[in-house]
């Protein structure tokens, strides 16, 4: 059982745990095969539990289908919220990717009432999560470059260029600032192939 579950255990309830319920559902999904193997084992059956509700749930394919739907639909949103809660390292460059992924996952699960309600709430904040500065910042996400799954690359490149110009105007940067920044931006963007190397992919 330990080998099958890679030494993972079920997550127990506790008050301060962030996103606890979704983490619990995710761990259940990870341990699905192990849990099903347990309830169908001869040792477990020999115990002959009365009113074994847990075994009934574990053996219910409808439960697993719905659990998988909820986990897939909400996991990117959980990651997005975590980015907003991070204080030690910058995270703005990762927001756009997770915002787009969140909307896609929720839209794909729109037949589910929970996902539909979450999608409606998400769309209320979407313009903030996908603002011009967020799009511009997404271009400097080297990890996403490495995996080749940047969102709306051309549009985000334009937003980064626009941001450089607006920054120079707002902070009254000296002549030549925009040209130099644009040159550095193009030098960075022209190295796209480098981000696919094994070294970068390993760090990503």
39-97 pLDDT per residue, tens: 999 999 898 888 899 999 999 999 999 999 889 888 998 888 888 887 788 899 999 99
- CA distances to 133, 141, 160, 185 from 182, in Å: 16, 18, 9, 5
Asked if the model's pLDDT at residue 2 lies above 50, the reply is no
What is the distance between the alpha carbons of residues 156 and 164, in angstroms, rounded to a whole number? 13
Share of the chain above pLDDT 90, in %: 46
Among the residue ranges 69-78, 145-154, 173-182, the one predicted with the least confidence is 145-154
Averaged over 100-109, what is the pLDDT? 91
State how far Cα 140 lies from the chain centre: 17
What is the distance between the alpha carbons of residues 98 and 201, in angstroms, rounded to a whole number? 19
Q: Contact, 181 vs 168, CB < 8 A?
A: yes
3-state helix, strand, coil in the chain (%, to 5): 75, 0, 25
Tell me the Cα Rg of the chain.
Answer: 23
Specify the pTM: 0.74
């Amino acid at each position: 059982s330990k080998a099958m579950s890679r030494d993972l255990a079920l997550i127990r309830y506790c008050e301060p745990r962030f996103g606890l319920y979704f983490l619990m559902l995710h761990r259940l999904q990870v341990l699905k095969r192990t849990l099903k193997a347990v309830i169908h084992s001869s040792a477990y059956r020999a115990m002959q539990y009365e009113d074994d509700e847990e075994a009934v749930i574990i053996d219910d394919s409808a439960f697993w289908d719905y659990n998988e739907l909820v986990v897939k639909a909400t996991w990117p949103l959980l990651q997005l919220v975590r980015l907003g809660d991070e204080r030690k390292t910058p995270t703005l460059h990762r927001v756009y990717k997770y915002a787009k992924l969140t909307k896609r996952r929720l839209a794909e699960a729109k037949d589910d009432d929970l996902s539909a309600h979450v999608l409606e709430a998400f769309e209320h904040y979407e313009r903030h999560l996908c603002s011009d500065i967020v799009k511009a910042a997404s271009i400097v996400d080297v990890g996403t470059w490495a995996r080749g799954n940047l969102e709306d690359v051309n549009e985000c490149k334009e937003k980064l260029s626009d941001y450089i110009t607006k920054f120079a105007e707002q902070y009254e940067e000296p002549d030549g600032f925009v040209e130099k920044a644009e040159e550095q931006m193009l030098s960075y963007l022209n190295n796209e192939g480098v981000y696919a190397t094994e070294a970068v992919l390993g760090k990503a």
